[in-house]
Amino acid sequence: MSVLLADVLVWDPSRASGMTGPTDVLVVDDTIAAIGETARAGAPTGARTIDGHEHHVVLPGLVNAHFHSPANHLKGAFRSRPLETFMLYESPADPALRPTPREAYLRTMLGALEMLRTGTTSVQDDAFLMPSPEPEIIDAVMQAYADSGIRATVALDQPELPDTDKLPFLDGLEGLDPEVAAALRAPAPAAAAELLGAYDHLVGTWHGAAGGRLSAAVSISAPQRVSPEYWGALDDLSRAHDLPVFAHVLETRTQRALSVPGTGQDRFAGRSLVQYADDLGLLNDRVNVIHAVWVDDDDLDRIAAAGAVVAHNPVSNLRLGSGVMPFRAMRDRGIPVALGVDEAICDDTVNTWGVVKQAGLVHNVSGRDPEDWPSPAEVLDALWEGGAAAMRRTGRIGRVAVGAQADLAVLDLHAPAFTPFNDLRGQLVYCESGGSVRATLVAGVVVAEGGRVVSVDEAALLAEARELHAARRPALERTWAEADAILPAVDAVVRRAARTDVGMNRWIG
Ligand SMILES: [Zn+2]
């Protein structure tokens, strides 16, 4: 299968304008085979030609470097809450919410459709499969990614420890309602051995599947949610197969409070979660440090020395009131920063363009010199080069270059976001919403065109998703009522953390 993108403009970050052309781009199989004069001449007979009319620009497909697909059906469902109380509602381990494989398939597909429509070609899905990651559910998630045509790297985001090991300030547990205390003490739904068995299935069945488009990662969820032994086993698996390691680190002030002596989690011994990871020997260049909002200079030095990548989720960080990540301090240290949606329940889209815009805006309130605010070029570098680094695919995705994967978004510069045309980078970061995307290619296959996904029957899938999720709604509402009972205890933890001096501030206003 070959595609000739004819008379197109082509993303070129080395040029002041950000692009070159009009010219031609030839895609053969899953690879960009030629750009420029040789492209048209080299097109095999039968190659499909897509005309760019000299005003379509070929960009690298967007990389959504951090995402949780299991909440794809919950957009706009919740009021804004801090992460710790939000999670009571987001992912209850209630058997009544155990999805059928078809539900898991459709749920995953909802996100894939939205991403492909708007030009996102790669996703890293840190999938929490509650209550536990059964093989048939893993298969359903991966099959949805296989069928949709998107490039997906998937891990199992399963906590291994009870809430009492994850939160500070739970010393007053005795005073709680016995049922609430029991819920907080309840063991995680799946133990380490079961989780490692699930990884055997994920890696053995799906890593490298669909011509390499699908792959596995490992996830510790967060340092405070797993034992060092389980984390070590995942790190071994990651090293053996060169898999990214997903780790939510210092997303919230409550997590920073874990490092304050006397807050009740003695295993951290006054160390930040970054220092704790480093001391365990588990901070390395395969780690995606997700969020990194409440990090200090020492944490950043350690992240830089390890060669780890930070996954930045600015919309989620605002929706959950987590705070503002120190973007400039990371860039100054050469830490690669990638961009992520995080979740459809706290973004509340699966549209990476919104994250791009927010990354270009929120750091302007850092109080720093305006020269230190992120430039559109830096934001786009995070989107593409940072995203590729997070996925351990530098040079293979995130570029429009001969030999790179043909993961491409074709945008119309005659669309409203670019009319009149002023500046490509500025209009990509501040103006584009996905509405200018005319075609999305993944691994050389046209998967979305004219605003619709063409790899699957989009309308039928959406209709089925509406029907199945409506049927689940009563069970969902019952779990929310149960979360209401636990809410005051966790809310008290968050409030105490907010009053605790953690030696820094990442809140504004
Ligand atoms: Zn996350």
Residue 431 in any domain: the answer is no
Identify the DSSP state of 189. Answer: S
Residue 347 in any domain: the answer is yes
Q: How far apart are CA 237 and CA 509, in angstroms?
A: 43
Q: State in Å: Cα 23 to ligand 1 middle.
A: 40
pLDDT in tens, 314-332: 999 999 999 999 999 999 9
Q: How far apart are CA 399 and CA 13, in angstroms?
A: 9
- Name the residue with tokens 């710790």: 84
Q: State in Å: Cα 316 to ligand 1 middle.
A: 9
Q: State in Å: Cα 113 to ligand 1 middle.
A: 20
For residue 318, what are the CA distances in angstroms to 42, 76, 92, 200, 315?
49, 14, 23, 36, 5
Residue 116 in any domain: the answer is yes
pLDDT for the residue 170: 85
Residue 172 has pLDDT above 70, yes or no: no
Answer for the pair 2, 43: CB distance below 8 angstroms, yes or no. Answer: yes
**What is the mean predicted confidence (pLDDT) over 109-115?**
98
Residue 92 has pLDDT above 90, yes or no: no
pLDDT for the residue 108: 98
Residue 273 in any domain: the answer is yes
Q: State in Å: Cα 322 to ligand 1 middle.
A: 12
**What is the mean predicted confidence (pLDDT) over 290-298?**
98
Residue 366 in any domain: the answer is yes
Count the Cβ atoms, other than its own, within 10 Å of residue 193.
Answer: 10
Q: State in Å: Cα 6 to ligand 1 middle.
A: 39
What are the beta bridge partners of residue 12?
none
Cα-Cα-Cα-Cα dihedral sign, residues 266, 271, 273, 277 = negative
Q: How far apart are CA 176 and CA 174, in angstroms?
A: 6
Answer for the pair 331, 292: CB distance below 8 angstroms, yes or no. Answer: no
By DSSP bridging, strand 48-51 and strand 151-156 are unpaired
Q: State in Å: Cα 54 to ligand 1 middle.
A: 40
pLDDT for the residue 91: 84
Q: State in Å: Cα 411 to ligand 1 middle.
A: 29
Domain count, the chain: 1
Q: What is the DSSP string of 264-291?
A: S-GGGTT--HHHHHHHTT---TTEEEEE
Residue 264: partners with Cβ closer than 8 Å, 6 or more residues away:
167, 168, 169, 170, 171
Q: State in Å: Cα 147 to ligand 1 middle.
A: 24
Q: State in Å: Cα 67 to ligand 1 middle.
A: 6
Q: State in Å: Cα 431 to ligand 1 middle.
A: 26
What is the CB-side half-sphere exposure of residue 11 using CA atoms within 13 A?
Answer: 24
**What is the mean predicted confidence (pLDDT) over 376-398?**
98
Q: How far apart are CA 381 and CA 375, in angstroms?
A: 10
**What is the mean predicted confidence (pLDDT) over 143-168?**
96
Q: State in Å: Cα 45 to ligand 1 middle.
A: 46
Residue 482: partners with Cβ closer than 8 Å, 6 or more residues away:
92, 94
Residue 185 in any domain: the answer is yes
Residue 173 has pLDDT above 80, yes or no: no
Residue 359 has pLDDT above 90, yes or no: yes
Q: The domain containing residue 226 runs over which residues? A: 62-390
Q: State in Å: Cα 47 to ligand 1 middle.
A: 41
Q: State in Å: Cα 423 to ligand 1 middle.
A: 32
Q: State in Å: Cα 21 to ligand 1 middle.
A: 39
pLDDT for the residue 1: 85
Residue 470 in any domain: the answer is no
Residue 399 in any domain: the answer is no
Compute the 3-state secondary structure of the chain and give helix, strand, coil in percent, each to the nearest 5.
45, 20, 35
Q: State in Å: Cα 131 to ligand 1 middle.
A: 17
Identify the DSSP state of 362. Answer: G
Residue 225 has pLDDT above 90, yes or no: yes
For residue 115, give the CATH number of its domain: 3.20.20.140
Q: Read off the pLDDT band of 262 (50, 70, 90).
A: confident
Q: State in Å: Cα 482 to ligand 1 middle.
A: 23
Q: State in Å: Cα 371 to ligand 1 middle.
A: 30
Whole-angstrom distance between the N-terminal and C-terminal Cα of the chain?
54
pLDDT for the residue 23: 98
Residue 18: partners with Cβ closer than 8 Å, 6 or more residues away:
11, 12, 377, 424, 425
Element (H, E) at 58: strand 56-60
Phi/psi of residue 331, nearest 5 degrees: -60, -40
Q: State in Å: Cα 103 to ligand 1 middle.
A: 21
